[in-house]
Structure 1
Amino acid sequence: MQNEAWLRMGSFLTVLVIMMLWEAILPNRVSPVARSKRWLSNFFLVFCGALVGRLFVPAGLAFVAIFADNMQFGLLNILSMPDWLVISLAVIILDCLIYWQHRLFHRVPILWRLHKVHHADPHLDASTGLRFHPIEIALSLLVKALGILILGVPVEAILIFEILLNGSAIFNHSNIKLPSWLEWPLRKLVVTQAMHRIHHSQVVKETDSNYGFCLSIWDRLFNSYTKQAEAGDDGLKLGLKDYPNESSNTGIGTVLLMPFRDKPSNHSD
């Protein structure tokens, strides 16, 4: 488990540094809010999320997988299949589970209160992929733990999935623009920046589409795919209309209290 933690952290930091350097050299958009203010809020939420993860699942999701394996509990522990197939299926199913979790957080009002913290960011960059309220992180961990237990997901699959999930979130939120000759073929397999930017549109029907994190197939399969924003990629307005200025969408106190306020705060933290 110690090696797993180091591998996850190393992969996370590698992808984060690469995408942040790419953004710095070839940015797609100019942020309407000072980078320092956004990053203070976003990376503080990363710290809170990591702390919550340790409190809710102290030994990590791998512990749940080991427990399921020892008890021979879960669908994948019952079926007789080669290890490579079990791991592949587990990663794919977990990605589908996160897709549906994401849709649920948009559809259920009390869950949207948590998830809007992510969408209130007025700009998209690598840090946005990490901007989630700690309570949403806790609920997501519980969903994943339950899925791992029911499926009997092997430890190797969890490691691969967590690396892919974190890496994909950083990648597809990054403030870059792939050339069209690469972007269109690539999005047939994975969620690209242009595809995910549509999900962060201020237009509600666009926000309620393109829910995928890693594999792009789920949006096509479950009829939630939007190919292009009405205003086009360059004309797309990001964030939420209810949170139009930096005093309402940045600041440590603001982002932590956002789910519990009916209206945006009018002061900065």
Structure 2
Amino acid sequence: MEALIRLSAALGIFLLMVVWEQLRPRRVQQVSRLQRWRVNLGLALFNQLLMRASVGGLAYAAAASAQVAGLGLLNGWPCPSWLSMAATLLVLDFAIYGQHIAMHKLPWLWRLHQVHHSDLEFDATTALRFHPLEIILSMAYKVLCIVLLGANPLAVIAFEIILNGAATFNHSNIAIPEAWDAKLRWLLVTPDMHRIHHTPVRRQMDSNYGFSVSCWDRLCGTYTGKPEQAQTTMAIGLAAFRNAEGLGFWQLLMLPFKKA
């Protein structure tokens, strides 16, 4: 049931963003959508099947098991359920923010994460473009955080839904009026904010790491408000792949193992 709830929410948000992109796109895309979507959706399906066959649902199972065993900070410290849920959502979100920074700063992790940044356009399918080894490592890291925290099991389900939905939203090629975007950014990571992170300019790529709430970038000094070039014309994706037509499915799987 937990997996069905997460999958239904993910598909619903994805379809909503795709329709929004079609009706009100932020940028005119230069790379064929058919070409990119075939790769991005293929990678997403592969990752989904792999997770179902291996560590799918492990985050919730870890939280439930830790609760029964009394493991973790929140399980050893009596507190109301609303507080444990709020603490779980905030701590896990900050943990993913820290993980994202590590993916950029540690060379062996960047080899995996570059698959995400190799996309030469930026839309809802970009949120699905991750190497399977990064997905598995991320799950292992989340499980460790969940057990150490003693995370609330229901909050873990909510967090997974929020994380997936927020990533789909802030990777979307949707037009939001700039005045609205400026207000939304005080709470949420918007597409215009996160798109800056996907430029090939290193100092911009090393900013705006948040996936859902924007406060971590502001508090930790990694926030960039405006790109050096206009949102509608700035380059997207890694410069190393700028002259390529785009990497195929198997090329993306092998990319981390190629010589830098």
TM norm. shorter chain > 0.5: yes
How many Å separate the matches in 1 of 2:60 and 2:250?
33
Q: Are residues 122 and 58 of structure 1, via their aligned partners in 2, closer, same or farther at CA, if it must alter by over 3 Å?
A: closer
Contact 1:173–1:193 (Cα < 8 Å) also in 2: yes
User: Could you give the per-residue CA deviations for residues 114-167 of structure 1, whole angstroms, max 9, x where no partner exists?
Assistant: 000000100000000111000000000000011111111121111110000000
Residues in 2 aligned to 1:200 and 1:109: alpha-carbon distance in whole angstroms: 18
- The corresponding residue for 1:88 is 86
State the distance in 1 between where 2:60 and 2:77 align: 20
Identity percentage over the alignment?
42
The ranges of structure 1 where at least 4 consecutive aligned residues each deviate by more than 6 angstroms after the TM superposition are: none
Equivalent position of 2:42 in the other structure = 44
Residue in 2 that maps onto 1:211: 209
1:131 aligns with 2:118: no
Aligned counterpart, 2:250 = 253
Give the superposed CA RMSD.
1.2
- In structure 2, the residue matched to 1:266 is none
Match 2:66 to one of 62, 65, 68: 68
Asked if structure 2 preserves the Cα contact closer than 8 Å seen for 1:54 and 1:60, the reply is no
Runs (5+) with no aligned partner, structure 2: none
Letter in 2 for 1:130: L
Report the alpha carbon displacement of residue 70 of structure 1 after superposing the two structures with TM.
Answer: 0.9
Residue type matched to 1:251 in 2?
G
Provide TM-score, normalisation by structure 2: 0.96
1:260: how far off?
Answer: 1.3
Specify the alignment match of 2:149 in structure 1: 151
Q: How many residues align?
A: 260
Shift of 1:103: 0.2
TM alignment of 1:13-32, pairs within 5 A? 13-32=11-30
- TM-score under structure 1 length normalisation: 0.93
* Larger RCO (CA within 8 A; separation ≥ 6): 2
Deviates more, 1:29-38 or 1:85-94: 29-38
Q: Deviations over 1:158-207 (max 9, x none)?
A: 11100000000100000012101210010110100000000001100000
Mapped contact 1:64–1:149 kept (Cα < 8 A)? yes
Once the two structures are TM-superposed, the CA of residue 246 in structure 1 deviates from its matched residue by 4.3
Give the deviation of 1:34 after TM superposition.
1.2
**Residues in 1 aligned to 2:63 and 2:216: alpha-carbon distance in whole angstroms:** 25
Indicate whether 1:180 and 2:178 are aligned.
yes
User: What amino acid does structure 1 have at the position aligned with 2:79?
Assistant: M
Structure 1 pair 260–19 and aligned structure 2 pair: CA distance change class (3 A): same
1:58 CA drift (Å): 4.7
Q: Which amino acid aligns with 1:156?
A: L
